[in-house]
Amino acid sequence: MNMVQQFDPAQVDFSQDLGTPRAESDVMITVHIDGMPVSVPEGTSVMRAAAMVGANIPKLCATDNLNAFGSCRLCLVEIEGRPGTPASCTTPCAEGMSVHTQTSRLDKLRKGVMELYISDHPLDCLTCPANGDCELQDMAGAVGLRDVRYGMEGENHLERSKDESNPYFTFDSSKCIVCSRCVRACSEVQGTFALTIAGRGFGSQVSPSEQQPFLDSECVSCGACVQACPTATLQEKSVIDLGVPSRKVKTTCAYCGVGCSFTAELRGDEVVRMVPDKQGGANEGHSCVKGRFAWGYAQHQDRVTTPLIRDSIEDEWRPVEWDEAISFAADRLNAIKSQHGVDAIGGITSSRCTNEEVYVVQKMVRAAFGTNNIDTCARVCHSPTGYGLKQTFGTSAGTQDFASVEQSDAIMVIGANPTDAHPVFGSRMKRRLRQGADLIVIDPRSIDLVRSPHIQAEHHLQLMPGTNVAVLNAISHVVATEGLMDDDFVYERCNKTSFKAWLDFISLPENSPEALADITGVDAETLRAAARAYATAGNGAIYYGLGVTEHSQGSTMVMAMANLAMATGNIGRLGVGVNPLRGQNNVQGSCDMGSFPHEFVGYRHVSDDAVREQFSSVWGVTLREDPGMRIPNMLDSAVSGEFKGIYIQGEDIAQSDPNTNHVAEALRSMDCVIVQDLFLNETSHFAHVFLPGTSFLEKDGTFTNAERRINRVRPVMTSRTGLSEWEATCALSEAMGYPMPYERGSEIMDEIAELTPTFAGVSFDLLDKLGSVQWPCNEQAPTGTPIMHKDAFVRGEGQFMTTPYVPTDERSTRKFPLLLTTGRILSQYNVGAQTRRTDNVVWHAEDVLDIHEADAEARGVKDGDWIEIASRAGQTRMRARISDDIPAGVVYTTFHHPVSGTNVITTDNSDWATNCPEYKVTAVEIRPSSEQRA
């Protein structure tokens, strides 16, 4: 047999575990594995080369998302011309090397090693939860172990007790082979360093933190250790309860904007576990506690699966069939149209829903309702991103893929907390930081990145809330006046007139760090050092979150960051860019899909005759050329009695939007509020129609993540409601006189592709073939576009914008002397509708207010006390937590629990360009409370 002809690199299955990570080298070398030649990048291990040709060498401590460790001694090989039997995982291939993976000598050695392992392992395979899914079991079979000569009576670890403290997995030390895969996964993949090997020699054992129970340790429950464990030592409790899964479906997580790919593993119609997909472009096999474990809400008893209607919000809900609910809703909306006109109704799309579901809602509003009164929950998070990046770069999206951060030399994190809010990307960023990239954090809080194991921010600009633009202007001032600009880039790529105007503005003394220090609270020399670090690093990357956008100058700040990136030439290649970390799974997609009241799909203005004609032609209806109302305008008009009906898809505006007293008043004023959601949320208290929604486990469509990556969402179980969400929307549209006769989700995407130049090449077939693509995906970029603005900006020349700092109207005063800023934590997600219905509550049972010790002491507040928080908008109560993560004068809380009423106290100040609410700055006063809840 001619072995040479058998190896085909195209046939390598990279979804299997190849034992050690891919080597990054352009130099290829050729080795012979059991006589078969294989060419691999220099640095590739013998184990990986062997796996690529199908010669799977037995292993226990090796797995291909961890660096080789060489401890289990099972993967021994023989190499011609070399003495001994080296471990194949730690031995790199060398040109011309000839390796033997199967010899009688190796068989004997491996069997001996396995025999030792098994002599200290419970022989309970038949009742073990990992039976059939255990690498130790597999390897015992692979080496042909039939007998353990040493018996089981000697000293062993078999009586060790289980740690059941974590709600999602057990730690059964008696089954541990101390291969260190869990410890290395926690360090190398997650970057938390919560696990270690305690003790020495025979007493060595895996230990969370200082030999604490998992729940009390620094473990963040990302699941990387469980994934890495080759035995049942770390095992999902769901597998223990339900058994080993019997079928698999690839899909996409529905939590944050990272958009991790997962394999849903099921028994029948029941999810057993969610396993992060190694082939997933966004996450490459990693996960966080939410995506990995907190999916139980989909089957929670609170889910409403039957349509509900009622004449008045004072009435009890009445469960009805879909037809009756749709007719009821259509009749009410049509009655409002007849009586008050088409502009008296509108809709809101959800960033938690698929592109296809969002698309049909905005189409229904424009075509069936007859108005452009369509907005999206992205209004209250990243609308300034859309505005600011479109003005400067020409497109409303981030510039990079996530992998780009691996090439960054200086990383500037502004108003974002990646380890909590985008944890899988946070882990990727931390890997790069451990390799030596500089870190600049611009945040009022000492977020985890400022100081955590093996991470120390070189620069922390701890600014006062509301002064982002002043800080960015000062950074750009340093860049401009110290000769740190990339003149060639600016000359070749940017609009010179706008650059000149910006340069004149930014060079003004009033923009210097020294002039702005009193306003920002940032020491001038500290700021200058950060500016120099970013500008001179080589590859400078900016990552930002809602701490940038949710301000009265959110859009200005986005443009200020774009200015800085252009001035320093940090656009258009790997390792650089301006990158929004999107809050929800499909913020990017919901914006792409025409959810804004002034734009059709693909960010094209409704007043553009050619574009409108294209949509009119395909949709078969005349479309309005004037923009519709945004969410706050709809609510204002409702309070004034002009806006009467709204369709709210998967958003709880009565909890998540600012100044909830005003939101409640607006909702109460309407004649028809339709809520489509999984649960009877706060908004549904004001609703007349409740249409049950589907969880991501039931959806068939696509999500688009923060890096513009379009991922398939596949139904892993049958719908609990009988109708998909887009089917329900289409039914309502048809009942209102405008049919949308799609047979399946793929047809909706086909229509999106037909109407949208940046999506022209996208189809379910392509996504199934490639796994995912990043838009633009069209004839010019048939497999997508990981990095944008490479040779030219989308708008042609990059446009500098002058960005004067305008302080917010929200100031601290004698009555309200503290500034409240809000955020979220790792275990919870947004208003908590999903995560509060999972065991994640064990980490966060209630929202608390973080307050600096000096501020607490001045008010007689002790840690754990109930306090009253009052702002100009309202007041609420929660417990206080003394924290040194925030400076004096600033307080911080989350909004995960409706009972906390955090958004009762946030004001209706908003971004000047987009009306994105100013959640991040609210002047408040705190005082001890004798009562517990408002």
Partner 1 sequence: MSTPGDYKQQHLIKMANQIAHSIPTRDDIPGQISAHMRQFWTTEMLKTLREIAAETPDILSEDVHSALQSL
343 touching partner 1, by CB under 8 A: yes
Q: Tokens at residue 619, please?
A: 């949709």
Q: Which is nearer to partner 1, 96 or 641 (CB)?
A: 641
Binding pattern for the stretch 374-393 against partner 1, x by CB under 8 A and - elsewhere: -----------------x--
Q: Which helix (H) or strand (E) holds 108?
A: helix 104-118
Give a three-class secondary structure readout of 19-40: CCCCCCCCCEEEEEECCEEEEE
Cβ-count burial 513-539 (b if 16+ within 10 Å, e if not): bebbbebbbbebeebbbbbbbbbebeb
Given candidates 122, 384, 589, 632, which one binds partner 1 under the rule CB under 8 A? 632
| Contact indicator for 275, 252 with CB cutoff of 8 Å | no
802 touching partner 1, by CB under 8 A: yes
Contacts for 408 with CB less than 8 Å, ≥ 6 apart = 432, 437, 537, 539, 540, 541, 575, 576
Beta strands in 449-529 (DSSP E): 451-452, 455-456, 459-461
4 touching partner 1, by CB under 8 A: no
d(CA 446, CA 449): 8
Given candidates 639, 680, 794, 882, which one binds partner 1 under the rule CB under 8 A? 639
Segment interacting with partner 1, rule: CB under 8 A, options 219-227, 415-423, 622-630, 740-748: 622-630
Q: What is the closest distance, in whole angstroms, from the C-beta atom of residue 171 to partner 1 in the complex?
A: 54
Q: What is the closest distance, in whole angstroms, from the C-beta atom of residue 578 to partner 1 in the complex?
A: 16
Q: Tokens at residue 859, please?
A: 């008010």
Given candidates 498, 684, 704, 785, which one binds partner 1 under the rule CB under 8 A? 498
Given candidates 209, 279, 614, 633, which one binds partner 1 under the rule CB under 8 A? 633
Q: Tokens at residue 692, please?
A: 């049950």
Given candidates 95, 331, 525, 626, which one binds partner 1 under the rule CB under 8 A? 626
Q: What is the closest distance, in whole angstroms, from the C-beta atom of residue 562 to partner 1 in the complex?
A: 11
Q: What is the closest distance, in whole angstroms, from the C-beta atom of residue 636 to partner 1 in the complex?
A: 4
Segment interacting with partner 1, rule: CB under 8 A, options 291-299, 325-333, 626-634, 650-658: 626-634
Phi and psi angles of residue 819, each rounded to the nearest 5 degrees, phi first: -105, 120
To which residue do tokens 């190896």 refer?
A: 7
Binding pattern for the stretch 106-135 against partner 1, x by CB under 8 A and - elsewhere: ------------------------------
553 touching partner 1, by CB under 8 A: yes
d(CA 115, CA 851): 57
| Contact indicator for 317, 664 with CB cutoff of 8 Å | no
Q: What is the closest distance, in whole angstroms, from the C-beta atom of residue 489 to partner 1 in the complex?
A: 21
d(CA 606, CA 609): 8
Segment interacting with partner 1, rule: CB under 8 A, options 152-160, 162-170, 497-505, 916-924: 497-505
| Contact indicator for 72, 62 with CB cutoff of 8 Å | yes
Q: Which helix (H) or strand (E) holds 748?
A: helix 745-755
Phi and psi angles of residue 846, each rounded to the nearest 5 degrees, phi first: -160, 155
d(CA 396, CA 589): 11
The footprint of partner 1 on residues 570-599 (CB under 8 A) is 597-598
627 touching partner 1, by CB under 8 A: yes
64 touching partner 1, by CB under 8 A: no
915 touching partner 1, by CB under 8 A: yes
Q: Which is nearer to partner 1, 505 or 816 (CB)?
A: 505
Contacts for 926 with CB less than 8 Å, ≥ 6 apart = 818, 849, 851, 855, 859, 861, 867, 868, 869, 880, 891
The footprint of partner 1 on residues 279-318 (CB under 8 A) is none
Rg (CA), the chain: 29
Segment interacting with partner 1, rule: CB under 8 A, options 103-111, 205-213, 631-639, 777-785: 631-639
Given candidates 479, 913, 921, 923, which one binds partner 1 under the rule CB under 8 A? 913
Contacts for 399 with CB less than 8 Å, ≥ 6 apart = 393, 571, 572, 576, 577, 578, 579, 787, 788, 789
| Contact indicator for 161, 148 with CB cutoff of 8 Å | no
Phi and psi angles of residue 689, each rounded to the nearest 5 degrees, phi first: -135, 130
Q: What is the closest distance, in whole angstroms, from the C-beta atom of residue 809 to partner 1 in the complex?
A: 8
CA-CA distances (angstroms) from residue 378 to 322, 768, 827? Answer: 29, 28, 22
698 touching partner 1, by CB under 8 A: no
Q: Which is nearer to partner 1, 390 or 877 (CB)?
A: 390
Q: What is the closest distance, in whole angstroms, from the C-beta atom of residue 607 to partner 1 in the complex?
A: 8
404 touching partner 1, by CB under 8 A: no
| Contact indicator for 595, 357 with CB cutoff of 8 Å | no
Given candidates 458, 912, 928, 934, which one binds partner 1 under the rule CB under 8 A? 912
Q: What is the closest distance, in whole angstroms, from the C-beta atom of residue 639 to partner 1 in the complex?
A: 5
Q: At what angle do helices 496-506 and 468-481 cross, to 10 degrees?
A: 100
d(CA 764, CA 748): 10
Residue of 175, 102, 103, 112 whose CA lies nearest to 147: 112
Q: What is the closest distance, in whole angstroms, from the C-beta atom of residue 498 to partner 1 in the complex?
A: 8
Given candidates 133, 514, 608, 636, which one binds partner 1 under the rule CB under 8 A? 636
Q: What is the closest distance, in whole angstroms, from the C-beta atom of residue 659 to partner 1 in the complex?
A: 11
Given candidates 628, 658, 692, 798, which one binds partner 1 under the rule CB under 8 A? 628
Q: Which is nearer to partner 1, 171 or 499 (CB)?
A: 499
Q: Is the dihedral of CA 247, 253, 255, 260 positive or negative?
A: positive
Given candidates 148, 335, 501, 508, which one binds partner 1 under the rule CB under 8 A? 501
Given candidates 574, 629, 675, 728, which one binds partner 1 under the rule CB under 8 A? 629
556 touching partner 1, by CB under 8 A: yes
Segment interacting with partner 1, rule: CB under 8 A, options 186-194, 526-534, 565-573, 909-917: 909-917
Q: Tokens at residue 500, please?
A: 């000149």
Q: What is the closest distance, in whole angstroms, from the C-beta atom of residue 674 to partner 1 in the complex?
A: 22
Q: What is the closest distance, in whole angstroms, from the C-beta atom of residue 552 to partner 1 in the complex?
A: 7
517 touching partner 1, by CB under 8 A: no
189 touching partner 1, by CB under 8 A: no
Given candidates 40, 51, 717, 801, which one binds partner 1 under the rule CB under 8 A? 801
504 touching partner 1, by CB under 8 A: no
470 touching partner 1, by CB under 8 A: no
Q: Is 491 exposed, middle or buried (0-12, 13-18, 19+ CB in 10 A)?
A: exposed
Q: Which is nearer to partner 1, 20 or 373 (CB)?
A: 373
Q: What is the closest distance, in whole angstroms, from the C-beta atom of residue 378 to partner 1 in the complex?
A: 15
Segment interacting with partner 1, rule: CB under 8 A, options 583-591, 795-803, 825-833, 854-862: 795-803
Beta strands in 789-865 (DSSP E): 818-823, 848-851
640 touching partner 1, by CB under 8 A: yes
Q: Is the dihedral of CA 373, 375, 379, 380 positive or negative?
A: positive
The footprint of partner 1 on residues 806-865 (CB under 8 A) is 806
169 Rama sector, left if φ>0, alpha if ψ -120 to 50, beta otherwise: beta
Residue of 701, 710, 702, 695 whose CA lies nearest to 745: 701
Size of the site for partner 1 (CB under 8 A): 35
Q: What is the closest distance, in whole angstroms, from the C-beta atom of residue 684 to partner 1 in the complex?
A: 23
Contact residues for partner 1 (CB under 8 A)? 343, 391, 498, 501, 505, 552-553, 556, 559, 597-598, 605, 607, 626-630, 632-633, 636-637, 639-641, 662, 801-804, 806, 908, 912-913, 915
